[in-house]
Each structure stands twice: as structure tokens, then as C-alpha cells.
Amino acid sequence: MKRKEKGRVELERVHTVEAAQNIFTKEEVGIEGDFYPFLVGYHQEEDYTLFLLALKDLDRIYWILAIRKVCAYNRNIRSYFHPAPWNGRKWSCCKKTTKLIDGCQECDSWIPSQTSSPSRDSISESLSNKENFNSSQSSPIMPGGGTPGTPSGKQKDDQSSTTPRSKVVVALYNYKAIETGDLSLEKNMEYEVIDDSQKHWWKVRDSKGMIGFIPSNYVKEKELLGLQQYDWYVNDMSRQRSESLLKHEDKEGCFVVRNSSTKGLYTLSLYTKIPHPHVKHYHIKKNGKGEFFLSEKHCCNSIPELINYHKHNSGGLASRLKTSPCDRPAPATAGLSHDKWEIDHSELMLLDELGSGQFGVVRRGKWRGTTDVAVKMMKEGTMSEDDFIEEAKVMTKLQHPNLVQLYGVCSKNRPIFIVTEYMRHGSLLNYLRRHEQSLSTNQGLLLDMCIQICKGMAYLERHNYIHRDLAARNCLVGTENIVKVADFGLARYVLDDQYTSSGGSKFPIKWAPPEVLNYTRFSSKSDVWAYGVLMWEVFTCGKMPYGRMKNSEVVERVQKGIILEKPKACFKEVYDVMKKCWAPLPENRPSFRILKDTLINVSQGILVD
Ligand code: AMP
């Protein structure tokens, strides 16, 4: 890999562009007049921050917007930053003494508000009306494609703010409109966006002039479509998941292109049966002229051209590229329709029983005969229903590829039903136990599961949403080894004292940190502790933490700072991450955002991409 070069920052590595705190003296910077600092943060093996000075405020804003514009679609954009430098001992801004601690200030928006570069006039106008300038910024881009709402995840409900310019989107999946007011989508067709003021459901117009709501995660802006228009591009799919997918297809020459774990690079994963069925992974490299190649003899101007070339010539690959996996599952929508969270009982067909838990039986179902759902039939008296129903409206709006989507509730009849996305392989705990033999030898897959859960949790953390009962039993596994976090926030509505009080027999003691055991103090950092235990469950393929030890003994151990032992099949580097989650004081535990970056780095270090 290319080392850091002096005097050059690769744009795709930039993750932060912000105005900096002016703590510099004129002597330090050697400038007589006024100056306006700003910073560019980038990651190249480790984090670096470049502090720059503009001589006018207007110039500073121009620089920030211009750099953000060229980096707007980088995949590593951060949500928090430190506005002043690390002085060798502490951060000059927040005075924290841990270098790797989260940034102390929330980043500004990165979504360019217009397609062209910001003009000086528009900036001057913004400057003269600072309030307008701030409000014209959209919310920060989130890795899950979402934008952060208010702390509770509530939406801005301003119907009047329509899209200022005509935005054209392309459908990534088919979508069948069922509810009146919704519009069907046809894969690869274009739609004009009429109103994108709500996060998850946009009003669009199709080529025949029909208008209706569509799920915003089913489309992509035409200008930003990039590789997503190709069936062979699978985005952030990990090496392990691409292998399971291609092996499942079992077709010679079947391939996908995915983002490499090294940011900004891509990997081709190709299935071949010769000499035995296996998947080969090739980095797509770039030469000095910016051309892409798999073997240096065959360079192309773009990745699609390169793929096309290797569809006709194996050119050194194990096989010619032939097909890509078809019918990849479409993501869940935030609710079953625009602004819908109350679901009509009569529209649900209940099928086989999937299992039963704290609240009662869970059954597979079909909504309006088409959409697969899971239906949790709440045992009466197990939860404070009215409070939960209120909360459900908010929870349907939480949307991330690694969170089980809440579609809505049937609250008009009793028992109430909680209707969620259906996950075909059921609970992660049972999945780990059922597949122990194959999983225990595939640490890459286990680590990938942990990273997926961490991504879902980082999303909850960003929305100030605390899970309170994170454990392998509360995660679910879907097709293509997708793992998602379920039941977030539900613990607050449980009425059973045995579950809610730390002395109760059903309280998840073995997943609880000292501050929860002592003062029932839940936070995202108590979720981090539980996440460490969950990682341990994953790497032991579903063993019970602390074995048969009684709860009282576990509490004693945790209070004394005795932690779970390293699972046998677990790299030291992975166990080191678990240990970070079990720091006795919550403030010394990393956030999920930092954990996610750390785990991705660990996986890069110990596994081949
Ligand atoms: P719970 O009440 O959430 O503990 O669920 C009990 C069991 O039902 C779980 O262990 C799963 O096996 C199954 N289950 C719950 N939710 C789903 C879902 N969304 N999709 C598939 N199976 C589920």
C-alpha cells in the first residue's frame, strides 16, 4: 500500500472539513492581520489533521465548501471532530487526554446544496444571512444512508419544504405500491423528485406523469449513481459474505465487485470450480494515469469498461467474468407505506410460529398477501402498551441495513402485534449454535458479523437511542449472512419486575456493566459493554457467558474487574477490542463509531481483503 506522501492529501481519504477554533497566536503563524483557520482531517493508515489559514472569512467558507464538494461522496465522512489540535498531551479544544477519543463537536453538513460549485455570490449572500446559511445545510451524511434526526430520531415534518431544483433518481429495486398514494418503482427507470422533505418516503413523478410516494432507500440520485447502476456491484459487502453469496449461486464465472476494506478501493470476487469450487478475490488497481486494471497488461478508463473487457477475455483471471448473482433482496422500507405505522389486523395473514420470547409468540406472516413480515403477538400485561405505541411511531423511522426494521403495530385489537421485517435464519444465538462446526473455523465471518452489529449500534448511538438489552439472542440473521440488531429500546416498556430490576431473575446481568448493576445507569456506553459480551458470544459460537455461574457470582466478578476469558478461536487483536468494551468506567469505553473503525482496521490487519 502507498505510504503517506509529503505535501499531498488524497481527496478520497478526507473525512472532515470544518472551520477550526482560533487558538493560534499571530506570532505562531507569522501573519500580521486577521486569519481564519480551518481544518482538513484525513485517514491514511492513521488519522491526520491539516490546519490551514484563510485570510478572509469568506475565503475560509469558500475553501470549506469547495473541498467538501469534491469529497462529498467519500464513504468515511465523520460526524464529530476536534476543532483544535492535539498538543501532545491533550486536545486543545475539550482538554480530553485520550488521543483516540471521539471528536467533541458535531460536524456540519456535507451534502452539496446545488450541483454546481458554490459561487462567491451565493456564499456572500449566505454570509450576510448566517441563519439562512445554516438552515440551508442538510443534515450530515450518515454511513447508513440516513440523516440524523432530533435525538429521539423524530423527523422534521415540514411538508412545505419542497425540493428546490428538479432532482432525478433511478430505481435500484422494483417496488410495488400497495397503499393508495404510493407509486410503484421499476428497476433502472428514472423518476423526478417532487418532495424529499421527509427522510424515508419521497414524492416522485414517473415518466407517465403519475405521482406518489416511494421509499427513498430504493432509489439513488442519477448523478450519484456511479457503480450502483450495475447488478454486479454489491457496495459494502464483506469478503466473507461475498464468498457465501457466490458459493450459494454455484456458477462458474459468477462475480461481484465490492468496496474493498481499504477505503476508496474496489475488489473483484470471482467464483470458479477449477480445480475445486472456490472464490478468488482480486484488487482492482489504478495506475499513474488513473486507469483501472486487474492485470497490468489490460488497463481501462473505468471499472465498468474493465469488467466488460474481462467478460470477453479472462486476461489472467481464474475464469472469464460471466454472470452476477441475480435477485438480490430489496431492503426493508421504513414502515409499510408513507406515514403508516398502524397496521390493519385483517391485512395480516399469520403463518408458522418462528419462536417465542419475553413478550410471547412470534409468527411469520404476509402483509396484504405479498410482504414477508414477522409478527410479535404481545402477551397481555407484559408491556406498557400505550407508551410503546407512541414510541413505535418514532421507531418505524429508524432505518439502517443492520437494524431489524419495525414496520408498525396493530394496536386496535388485543393482543397487540408488533410487525417487523422477517429474518429467515432467526436468532443469532441459535444460528451460532446450529452452525458451530462451520463457523468456528471461519473467524473472518464471525468478525464480519460483529462489524455488522457494530454498524447498526453506531446508527442507534448517533440517534441517541439506547438498546438496553443487546445480546446475541436479540440479533437476527437474514439471507446472505446479514446480521441485524432487533428489539432496540423495547426493554423500557417491559412491565415484569424480574426483567427490569437489576436484582430480578430475568435481568440480563451477564451483559451488564458495573454502573448498570450498581445504579441502573443505562447509556450507549452500557450498550458498548454488552456489545463486548456479544462479541464473546459470537467468537464462542453461542456459549453462555460465565458458564453456569450464578448471577451473584457474576456481579461479584464484574465489580472486582474480572473479565471474560479469551475465546479459544479468537485472534488476540479481536479480544483486545472486547477488553476495551469492558473498561470499568463508561467514559473509558470507546463509542460504537470508534469501535466500528477499529474492528474494520483489525479485520484488514488479520484477514486478507
Ligand atoms: P423474541 O420475542 O424477539 O425473543 O423472539 C423469539 C424468537 O422468534 C427469536 O428467537 C427468533 O427465533 C424468532 N424471531 C423473532 N423475531 C423474528 C424476525 N423478525 N424474523 C424471524 N424470526 C424472528
**Alpha helix (H) residue ranges in 259-331:** 303-312
What is the pLDDT confidence band of residue 5, given thresholds at 50, 70 and 90? low
Residue 96 is assigned to a ligand binding site: no
Q: Hey, what's the cell of 310? A: 474481462
Rounded Cα–Cα distance for residues 222 and 171 (Å): 9
Rounded Cα–Cα distance for residues 126 and 427 (Å): 51
Q: Is 409 in the same domain as 435? A: no
Asked if residue 24 belongs to a domain, the reply is: yes
Rounded Cα–Cα distance for residues 568 and 572 (Å): 10
Question: What are the two backbone dihedrals, phi and then psi, of residue 211, each rounded to the nearest 5 degrees?
Answer: -120, 140
In the chain, the number of structural domains is 5
DSSP annotation of 491: G
Q: Of 488, 451, 458, which is closest to residue 577 (Cα–Cα)?
A: 451
Asked if residue 438 belongs to a domain, the reply is: yes
3-state secondary structure of 432: helix
Q: Determine if ligand 1 sits within 6 Å of the CB of residue 426.
A: yes
Asked if residue 321 belongs to a domain, the reply is: no
Which residue puts its alpha carbon closest to atom 1 of ligand 1? 357
Cβ atoms of residues 387 and 489 within 8 Å: no
Q: Of 491, 492, 498, 528, which is closest to residue 513 (Cα–Cα)?
A: 528
Q: Is 601 in the same domain as 538? A: yes
Q: Is 257 in the same domain as 116? A: no
pLDDT tens-digit map of 151-201:
333 333 333 444 455 899 999 999 999 888 999 999 999 999 999 999 999
Q: Is 463 in the same domain as 599? A: yes
Question: What is the DSSP track for 61-124?
Answer: HHHHHHHHHHHTT-TT--SEE-SS-B-SSSBTTT----TTSPPSEE----S-SSSSPPPHHHHH
Which of 258, 293, 312 is a domain's end point? 312
The answer to whether the peptide bond before residue 415 is cis (omega within 30 degrees of 0) is yes
Q: Is 210 in the same domain as 293? A: no
pLDDT at 306 over 90: yes
Catalytic residue annotation: 469
Q: Is 378 in the same domain as 454? A: no
- CA–centroid distance, residue 31 to ligand 1 (Å): 64
Q: Which residue type sits at 463?
A: H
Q: Is 114 in the same domain as 250? A: no
Which of 159, 178, 199 is a domain's end point? 159
Which of 208, 227, 246 is a domain's end point? 227
3-state secondary structure of 417: strand
What pLDDT is recorded for position 136?
32
Q: Which residue has the higher pLDDT, 517 or 495?
A: 517
Q: Of 513, 478, 498, which is closest to residue 588 (Cα–Cα)?
A: 513
- The CATH number covering residue 478 comes to 1.10.510.10
Q: Which domain holds residue 243?
A: 232-312
What pLDDT is recorded for position 95?
82
Which residue puts its alpha carbon closest to atom 8 of ligand 1? 355
Buried/exposed code over 123-157 (b: 16+ C-beta within 10 A; e: otherwise): beebeeeeeeeeeeeeebbbbbebbbbeeebebee
Test site for ligand 1: of 427, 468, 490, most ligand atoms within 8 A of the Cβ: 427
Question: What are the two backbone dihedrals, phi and then psi, of residue 66, each rounded to the nearest 5 degrees?
Answer: -70, -40
Q: Is 451 in the same domain as 560? A: yes
Q: Determine if ligand 1 sits within 6 Å of the CB of residue 423.
A: yes
Q: Determine if ligand 1 sits within 6 Å of the CB of residue 237.
A: no
Asked if residue 335 belongs to a domain, the reply is: no
Q: Is 471 in the same domain as 502? A: yes
Q: Determine if ligand 1 sits within 6 Å of the CB of residue 479.
A: no
Asked if residue 532 belongs to a domain, the reply is: yes
Q: Hey, what's the cell of 425? A: 435464519
Q: Hey, what's the cell of 559? A: 465489580
Q: Is 80 in the same domain as 108? A: yes
Asked if residue 489 belongs to a domain, the reply is: yes
- The CATH number covering residue 279 comes to 3.30.505.10
Asked if residue 397 belongs to a domain, the reply is: yes
Q: Is 565 in the same domain as 445? A: yes
- The CATH number covering residue 208 comes to 2.30.30.40
pLDDT at 263 over 50: yes
Rounded Cα–Cα distance for residues 93 and 87 (Å): 10
Q: Is 542 in the same domain as 441? A: yes
pLDDT at 137 over 60: no
The stretch 344-371 carries a mean pLDDT of 93
What is the pLDDT confidence band of residue 518, given thresholds at 50, 70 and 90? very high
Asked if residue 339 belongs to a domain, the reply is: no
- The CATH number covering residue 74 comes to 2.30.29
pLDDT at 375 over 90: yes
Q: Provide the 10 A C-beta neighbour count for residue 14.
A: 21
